[in-house]
Amino acid sequence: MLSDENIIEYFCVEDILKKYPPSGQKQVLLIKHKTYGVVILKIVEGQSERVKREIAIVTENNFNNVPRVLEVKDYQIGNQNGIYLLEEYIDGDSLKKVLGQGKLSLKDAMNLTEQLLKIIVQMEEKEIVHRDIKPDNIVRNSIEKWYLIDFGIARALNMNSLTMTEVQMGPHTPGYGAPELFQYSKKDIDSRADLFSLGVVVFEAITGKHPFVRGDELNINEIWYNTVTVVPQSVVVDGDTDMQFMGLIQTFMQKHVTRRPRTAKKALEWFYSVRREIER
């Protein structure tokens, strides 16, 4: 890992405002940059193909509600080399932090659902699956706009997989990943995996409870088992008298991929239909 002195000297940094927990060979910092102002600096040691793909996915597609990449370059400092990027900083709180203060109202949950569905539709059009939609990776700014961050394990369906075919499971976060991700049925992985994760997130946001994880699980195997066997409870939410919104979210969380909406675009259409009924 690079020292603060090296970071300030080599990356045009005026001040290091915050350090995030390191992940593997990646350093992530909130900095004040001499040109761009307050931004996120990511420094990745070595030439990681997964990191290169993450950068390409974000920079080449210019998705709405996804932080923009401002600069990407290789670096060489002493005997350490790698890639660094400067990324737009979203000044707000993660959904995880928001939920620490209480669950969302129906109105706020529908706003979250609409914005995330629109992002998934954009990714679907570019044949990209995020694979890691969870409260930590969703950020709300001061004007109620939700952003999806961290494309570190995203998969481009039109490119060769970076995960070896013989592995038992694909990249995901247990409890939020769809069954086809941890069972690693490659042929079934598409935007419907992201719809599953969105369903889990919204269920948790609006009920205050995770649909599969109780918190007393002994290991990851138990979380996986719950994900494929536990049917989320139907919960009556204030304003969702006929449970139409809850029904939609449960459809997103169907265990079998064929039972979810066929596409993200279709899921968004269903959402608008449900919202119109609720707002009548």
Residues taking part in catalysis:
132
Q: What is the 3-state secondary structure (H, E, C) of 7-63?
A: HHHHCCEEEEEEECCCECCEEEEEEEECCCEEEEEEEEECCCHHHHHHHHHHHHHCC
CA distances to 4, 27, 28, 136 from 17, in Å: 11, 14, 11, 20
Instruction: For 154-186, give one letter per residue: b (16+ CB within 10 A) or e.
Output: bbbeeeeeeeeeeeeebbbbbbbbbbbbbebee
Place of tokens 């995203």: 154
Pairing of strands 146-148, 92-94: unpaired
Which two structure tokens, joined as six digits, stand for 147? 């952003």
Reduced to 3 states (helix: H, G, I; strand: E, B; else coil), residue 82 is strand
CA atoms within 13 A on the CB side of 254: 12
Rounded to 10 degrees, the C-alpha dihedral 50/88/115/125 comes to: -40
Reduced to 3 states (helix: H, G, I; strand: E, B; else coil), residue 262 is coil
Rounded to 10 degrees, the C-alpha dihedral 193/26/17/149 comes to: -10
Q: Do residues 234 and 246 lie in contact, with contact meaning Cβ atoms separated by under 8 Å?
A: yes
